[in-house]
Amino acid sequence: MGYYVKLQSGVKIYVEDINQEGKKTILFLHGWPGDHNLFEYQFNVLPKEGYRCIGIDQRGFGESDKPFSGYDYDTLSDDVFGVVEALKLKNFMLAGHSTGGAIAIRYMARHNGDGVSKLALFAAAAPSLIKRSYFPYGITREAVEDIIKGTYSDRPKMLRQFGDTFFFQHISEPFSDWFFSLGLRAASWATAAVANTWLDEEKLFSDMKKITIPTLILHGIHDQVCLFQLAEAQNKGIKNSKLVPFQYSGHGLFYDEKDKFNEELMKFIENKSL
């Protein structure tokens, strides 16, 4: 079922809550520039196996409210905390993809991992999406600046170009159109503001050191958005973490190798992979 959670800021966050009677709960945080629908191929399977799957649309994306501000990781993690409080979630697995993975890491540090028993990161944009003087991995600052410029000048073209780099396995033209449509559902100002956050955010390096719970890191070796070296840095920086490479995946590993992806998540939540 779908419903809204109103935060203290007055912003309403859309929540897709599937199989509320499930034995264990997974809270999914989507990546840029999509929404909870990115996890369609998890929501088709995991509830059948008895899991409660919750997907939220971050502010500015999908069906959530689209205020003009609040797209830094602190505020976005506060939004997640508001949903966790409203739903009274305890002992759940927090699972984040790409920017959602970065938000999950900030949540663990800023909110002391409230309610979280396990963390899953897939193609996470951490500890830094872009190259820095002390971190030679990631994409260039200029590439992100081009995304921001493209958002303001021709957002559909920018989204098409981004979609072309997202998956490693072949996708059909209808699937590509569907993926493109998710990006169009976001507010243009939110799309650009989150990209700006990638440029300025550097605290994830220290955030990772504060995580002590079991953490599963899933990452495609062909990822062109968040390079595989980011996963290796996460594995090194997070205690009690395990890295599982996906040999036939790009950034969209939850679809590129969806069967393996779902199996790894279920093994992890059932204490069989760490």
- Active-site annotation, residues: 98, 223, 251
- Does 33 sit behind a cis peptide bond, omega within 30 degrees of 0 on the bond before it? yes
- Does 127 sit behind a cis peptide bond, omega within 30 degrees of 0 on the bond before it? yes
Q: Are 256 and 172 within 8 A, CB to CB?
A: no
| β-pairing verdict for 241-246 and 215-220 | parallel
Q: 78: which 2 tokens?
A: 């506060």
Q: Shortest CA distance to 227 belongs to which of 138, 163, 160?
A: 138
Q: Are 109 and 211 within 8 A, CB to CB?
A: yes
Q: 203: which 2 tokens?
A: 């605290």
Report the alpha-carbon distance of residue 214 to residue 241 in Å, rounded: 6
Cβ neighbours for 121, distance < 8 A, ≥ 6 positions apart: 95, 96, 101, 104, 105, 215, 216, 217, 218, 231, 234
